[in-house]
Amino acid sequence: MSRPITRRALLASVIQATGVAMLAPSFGCTDRGSLQALREELQTLRGARVVVPPLKGFRDLRGVIHTHSYLSSDSNGRPEEFLAGAQQAKLDYLVMTDHFDPRIFTEGLKGQYGDLTVISGAEFPLGCTRKRGVTRRCGSILGFGFSSSLAQTFSPDSYSKSELIAQIKRYGGLVFLGHARGVPNLQYFEMVHGMEVFNIADTMRERYLSVPGFMINLFATQQEYHEELLLSVIERPNWLLARWDQLTRTGHRFVGIGGNDAHQNLNVLGVLVDPYGLVYRILNTHVLVDVQDSESAASPSANIILAALSQGRCYLAFSLLCDASGFQFYAINPLGTPIAMMGDVWGYVPRSQLVVRLPRVGAIEIFKNGVPEFRTVGRELEYTPSGPGVYRVEVFLKLQRRWRPWIISNPIYLLEER
């Protein structure tokens, strides 16, 4: 049976239409020297990384949320391929979100695969705010971690969207909004645990006019600088962050996650543009799991990872720039005792401080209720908040004379006592 034409297939067609020009000698004029200089600067940047002592009782896990396989209509990725990609990216967990197909309950992977925890889930269409063309915007429901007993009677088409969200929750699953710029009804934001505050596929699609240039460089350098060229995907998601801040400033926990939206299906003239291993390294959602009761090195269970995600104890990191493992953001009371982690809703304590620790020097920016409040450059910061509010952190790294986003934390909610 033929597969429907998707946005990604259309994007590939646009790129392939320029293929002849790309292969023409007159187009083989990329600045290899600039790419080599970028590689060397990246190596220097990464080489300055140090190990941050972990917070007692917590473990930092690197993962990927929103990935597709052959169980989706727009991917042919096999289990051995995405598992190998996860190993290349040194992932601790991987959340599968194939477009819904009953086979996810019988053929989809879940559980432990070596040191990797695989969590099963699905993606469901939600509607669109822009319906046509390569740049159309369509939101989705990402549901994962639900009980397998849901399979006995589950038929998503028999529910309204709000009923579908409630059903996934009823069976123990988490629900996030994917492709959030395409969510057609703001009421959906009130029904879910959180949203993607970055989606790699959306960013690539919105920059599709520059993709031919990307492919020209990729061919001209014989794929030698694939990683460096994909750095162009990393940009601050201004609209999504503004929307997220609107939702969190009320003091209601609303979790931000990264969406890799990995398909490994963008193959142009024999060049695989989006291999799992590379897309899994561009962006990671780190979770801080509670190991108070067990300091074992064994891989935490899916339930422990899901609990940390639901509590907002997580942060986004563009790992293609530098490994952010060890990043810390928490609040301490005047005695220096930690009182709140990312995602925690806590009463504001006068003279409390916000603590930020990084594995390398970066530009640290403190946001209060979505508004920048303080910025400094360093590896550690202890900052006295100006009063009750919702505080989060963004960190930037300077590369080729430009500050690029590196880390986006979930907020700490320091609210006024009522």
Backbone angles phi, psi at 238, to 5 degrees: -55, -50
- Fill in the DSSP letter of residue 18: T
d(CA 60, CA 286): 6
CB 328 within 8 A of CB 317: no
Instruction: Report domain extents, the chain.
Output: 7-320
Domain 7-320 has CATH 2.30.30.40: no
CB 413 within 8 A of CB 249: no
CB 281 within 8 A of CB 322: no
Closest CA to 188 of 174, 172, 176: 176
Beta strands 284-290 and 314-317: pairing type? antiparallel
Task: Compute the residue count for the chain.
Answer: 418
SS3 238: helix
For the chain, 418 residues long, give each residue's pLDDT as a single digit of tens. 334 445 555 455 444 444 433 333 333 345 778 889 999 999 999 999 999 999 989 999 999 999 999 999 999 999 999 999 999 999 999 999 999 998 999 999 999 999 999 999 999 999 998 877 666 789 999 999 998 888 766 788 889 999 999 999 999 999 999 999 999 999 999 999 999 999 999 988 776 545 666 666 766 665 788 888 889 899 999 999 999 999 999 999 999 999 999 999 887 777 788 999 999 999 999 999 988 755 455 778 999 999 999 999 999 999 999 999 999 999 999 999 999 999 999 999 999 999 999 999 999 999 999 999 999 999 999 999 999 999 999 999 999 999 999 999 999 999 987 5
Tokens of 194: 């959180």
3-state secondary structure string, 285-343?
Answer: EEEEEECCCCCCCCCCCHHHHHHHHHCCCEEEECCCCCCCCCCEEEEECCCCCEEEECC
Share of the chain residues as helix, strand and coil, in percent rounded to the nearest 5: 30, 35, 35
